[in-house]
Amino acid sequence: MALGGGTFTAQNKILPGSYINFVSASRASAALSDRGIAAIPITGDWGELGLIEVAAGDFQKNTMKLFGYDYAAPQLKGLRDLYRNIRLAYIFRLGAGGTKASNTWATAKYPGTRGNALMTAIAANVDDPALFDVSTYLGDALVDMQTVAAVGDLIANDYVQWGATALALEAGEPMTGGVNPTVTNGDYQSFLDAAESVSFNAIGCPSVDPTIKGLFAAFTRRMRDDMGVKFQCVVHDLDADYEGVVNVMNTVNDGVGYEAIYWVTGVIAGTPVNRSALNKQYDGEYEINTAYTQTQLEAAIKGGKFAFHKVMNAGIRVLDDINSLVTTTVEKSDDFKQNQTIRVLDQIGNDIAYLFNTKYLGVIPNDPDGRVSLWVDIVQHHTALQTNRAIQNFSGDDLTVEQGETRRAVVVNDGVTPVNAMRQLYMTVVVQ
């Protein structure tokens, strides 16, 4: 990260940038950025190692070349759950090494066992016997065909790189020898390192390993609190006690156990700033285990667990849109347990930091006119939030922009009231 960011205790930061605190108020008792971006690592047997950007449309159309399987394949069930609620994902294929499958004519583009499903075939062209029709198959699917006069005319495709010195008729030769890359805990750290260079709303941790889950939680805390990068992390069965981490309680009956995090990661990333996922129906493909009693579900909410429950005649639904925060303080009240509140605060944090870092940092003088300009921009931003019913009762009087302790610093004091979705109904009916 080139710019400073995060929270502050004293006005003593070294790096230029925006430092924003969110705290609860004491109690007696410009344009909004789009959401819908997730980041997640995968262990696959085909595809580019490292980080790739895949929009929802590309995922639907290009899964074969990206991940080695057609869109409906069971191997992509988790990613299909993820994409139900997002528009873009940064996907990181874990691992290093591995072996690319090969045959007499070509070598697979990527290492992994899926390359063993590749086959090449060479036939005489029916219109011109001097030409060759060179075909590439992945499983039963024809994924590429080229008509050429010589091997030098062949162009590498999305699946193979050609290596033969001459062409000869071949009914079909499978590729063999493909081996998956080796995945270690260090590869998850490589994913997190790569994730620092992109922006997203939620990051998913597809693992049952406590060490890896703790690594993701620590990364999220560091990025949110020290770097000012606002997103939430979705893990399975980790009592993080932190508003930046969503702790999914449910296991699945048709997987390792953590697979519900795919859908939840998509929901956390894709739910609009003015909406809650409370009572949202699970429309994914896994068999979610919802065998919990009312007492267990109440305990889940108190314990900061994101849970699914089965509603009679209404399917499987989100019990409450909460994060793992349990311990409240003067600065972080119960409001911070609600993901809808965190979405609003993260929107403000990301948007205002972007506004300041791109428009004001090193450009606008820190004089009364410059500070008024910043005040106007933030008021416009918050007014848009209020128009979208993400915050309420906002007035420009709630916002001050003043010079800081040095001539280079500007101090913003901001007061907002996030709106939350209706959660409980208390009704008294008087019979006359």
Q: Where are the domains of the chain?
A: 37-94+182-318, 106-174, 330-414
Distance CA 254, CA 256 (A): 7
- Which of 303, 343, 301, 306 has the alpha carbon at shortest distance from 327? 303
The more confident residue out of 313 and 210 is 210
Distance CA 350, CA 215 (A): 23
What confidence tier does 28 reach under pLDDT thresholds 50, 70, 90?
very low
Q: What is the pLDDT of residue 27?
A: 42
DSSP assignments along 82-93, one per residue: HHTS-SEEEEEE
Residue 23 has pLDDT above 70, yes or no: no
- As a whole number, mean pLDDT of residues 92-111 equals 97
Neighbouring-strand partners of residue 247 = 235, 305
Mean pLDDT score across all residues of the chain:
92
Angle at 331 between CA 329 and CA 334, to 5 degrees: 60
**Domain 37-94+182-318 architecture:** 3-Layer(aba) Sandwich (3.40)
Distance CA 83, CA 91 (A): 12
Distance CA 238, CA 242 (A): 10
Q: What is the pLDDT of residue 12?
A: 64
Q: What is the pLDDT of residue 13?
A: 72
Please return the burial class of 368, using the count of CB atoms within 10 Å of its CB with bins 0-12, 13-18 and 19+: exposed
- Please provide residue 242's backbone torsions phi and psi, each rounded to the nearest 5 degrees: -150, 135
Q: What is the pLDDT of residue 113?
A: 98
- CATH class label, 106-174: mainly beta
What confidence tier does 426 reach under pLDDT thresholds 50, 70, 90?
confident
Q: What is the pLDDT of residue 419?
A: 85
Angle at 351 between CA 346 and CA 355, to 5 degrees: 150
Would you say 324 and 238 are in contact if contact means Cβ atoms under 8 Å apart?
Answer: yes
- pLDDT tens digits, 135-184: 999 999 999 999 999 999 999 999 999 999 999 999 999 999 999 999 99
Would you say 174 and 104 are in contact if contact means Cβ atoms under 8 Å apart?
Answer: no
- As a whole number, mean pLDDT of residues 325-354 equals 93
Residue 26 has pLDDT above 80, yes or no: no
pTM: 0.88
Residue type, 44: G
